[in-house]
Amino acid sequence: MTRPLTSTLSALAVLAASSVAATAGPLMDRIAAGEPIRIGFANELPFAYPGESGEPLGFVNAHTLGVLEAMGYTDIEPVQTDWGGLIPGLQAGRFDIITGGMNILAARCENVAFSEPMARIGDGFLVPAGNPKGLGNYDDLREQGAVMVTGAGYSNIPAARDAGVEDANIMQVPGPTEILAAVRAGRADAGAGTYFTMRQLADSTDGALEVSDPGAMPAESLNWAGIGFSKDDQDFVDAFNAAQAEYLGSEAMLAAVAQYGYGEATLPGDVTTEWVCANR
């Protein structure tokens, strides 16, 4: 018996809807349901941090918002958390995207679907003015038996361990505020983090502290930052990457991030997330 045309069209519509539902990730489902896109970030100057009203500031947030707007998404809900809570919060579904200057690392790639890189990030040390111990890289820390303070979960921890720095000389604290306090008080000889963050901290001390030369760091300590998504949202990551390819390095993008110290020298180059996940 021949099926009526209306029935055939209805069946095809149901099949198409089922196919879309099968390929759409949770974030696309939330957007379709009218829910906001929740962006998680910590207080990490100048990458991502909250403004006075909790609004997402910093160059990674500015970049992310610019890409999302280019995609047509402006309903954004900022969610601040501690640095160590970013990946667990993403996995628990408390937010949909994590920013915060998250370096792409092999260990993180197991749990996070990263966008293509949006920034090339070098390390730096926060040290007393004049750098009395001459600490410029992780080998210097090991050779001097110096105490390094850095944030829990920061990429500086494995970098220091790879150079042979003993765990007893690696102090882990919640974030930049505590790094600054430890170096100021003399509990640590050097604070380790991205050059951007350490420079911001040094600038806040009226000359009491300074940041080491990032050029003294080994090439293997150079990292690339990306935007983090749930592994279930690869469809959204693909769409984000397509929009980012058009936005990254554009006049609009560079204007949005310039106030945070991001310039053309911070652009990631042609390095891919696949390469970074395999080599960092």
Residues of the chain under the 70 pLDDT cut: 1-24
CB-CB contact of 229 with 86 (8 Å): no
Measured CA to CA, the distance from residue 127 to residue 184 in angstroms comes to: 9
φ/ψ (deg, to 5) at 152:
-60, 125
In Å, what is the CA distance from 261 to each residue of 44, 244, 266, 279? Answer: 14, 20, 9, 27
Same domain, 241 and 116: yes
Same domain, 21 and 115: yes
Token readout for 160 is: 């220091």
Same domain, 82 and 180: no
CB-CB contact of 114 with 228 (8 Å): yes
In a domain, 149, yes or no: yes
Q: Give the per-residue pLDDT at 215.
A: 85
Q: Give the per-residue pLDDT at 23.
A: 56
Q: Give the per-residue pLDDT at 257.
A: 97
Q: Give the per-residue pLDDT at 1.
A: 42
Same domain, 140 and 213: yes
Same domain, 59 and 40: yes
Domain range for 95: 14-120+224-264
Measured CA to CA, the distance from residue 86 to residue 67 in angstroms comes to: 20
φ/ψ (deg, to 5) at 11:
-65, -40
φ/ψ (deg, to 5) at 165:
-70, 130
Give kind and range of the element (H or E) at residue 91: helix 86-91
DSSP 22-78: HH--HHHHHHHTTPPEEEEE--BTTTBEE-TTS-EESHHHHHHHHHHHHHT---EEE
In a domain, 6, yes or no: no
In a domain, 72, yes or no: yes
In a domain, 110, yes or no: yes
CATH number reported for the structural domain that contains residue 207 in this entry = 3.40.190.10
Chain-centroid distance, C-alpha 195: 14
Same domain, 71 and 158: no
Overall number of domains in the chain:
2
Same domain, 154 and 215: yes
Question: Which residues are within 8 A (CB) of 68 and not within 5 positions of it... i.e. 6 or more apart?
Answer: 37, 74, 76, 240
Instruction: Provide the percentage of residues in the chain whose pLDDT is more than 90.
Output: 83
Q: Is the dihedral of CA 105, 106, 111, 112 positive or negative?
A: positive
Same domain, 190 and 244: no
Question: Which residues are within 8 A (CB) of 135 and not within 5 positions of it... i.e. 6 or more apart?
Answer: 125, 127, 141, 144, 146, 189, 190, 212
Same domain, 234 and 97: yes
In Å, what is the CA distance from 248 to each residue of 133, 163, 251? Answer: 39, 34, 9
Q: Give the per-residue pLDDT at 11.
A: 40
Same domain, 260 and 211: no
Q: Are strands 148-151 and 170-173 parallel, antiparallel or unpaired?
A: parallel
| Closest among 99, 107, 125 to 46, alpha carbons compared | 99
